[in-house]
Amino acid sequence: MWESTATGKDCNTGAVLAGFKGLAVFNSAATASFDNSRPPTSQGSAFGTWKREAGDNYSLTLVFMRFNPDGTLAGTQKAKVVRTLSADGNSYTGTVAGQIIDTAGNVISSYCATDAGSRVSW
């Protein structure tokens, strides 16, 4: 299990927009489950797949549902994540490129982020 901090950024200027904390579990079958500190009324948990690329580099594809303030489905959000594991295997840094998609399947906006995390330990 991993704890992380993500920082949303303007894709064009790099200006910081927002941040949040996250938790992730990577399974041996190349699947992953994520949750974060955003209000549960605005989005669901994320699910996806991961793949080891080369060396200590990994890629992830994540999807979660988004909700309107009245609780109705607003669409989905997809993220393509690239992460580099530290030499000791206990932390990582990464970048995120994502899309916000309406209920008809149209991409309504894109977003960028950076993230960093570490293994949960006692």
CATH code for the domain in which residue 75 is found: 2.40.128
In terms of residue numbers, what domain contains 15?
Answer: 2-119
- Specify which residues 43 forms β-bridges with: 66
- Indicate the number of domains in the chain: 1
pLDDT at 39 over 80: no
pLDDT recorded at residue 76: 96
Q: Name the pTM for this structure.
A: 0.85
User: Which residues lie below 8 Å from residue 92, measured CB to CB, with a gap of 6+?
Assistant: 2, 58, 83, 84, 85, 86, 116, 117, 118
Average pLDDT, rounded, for the chain: 92
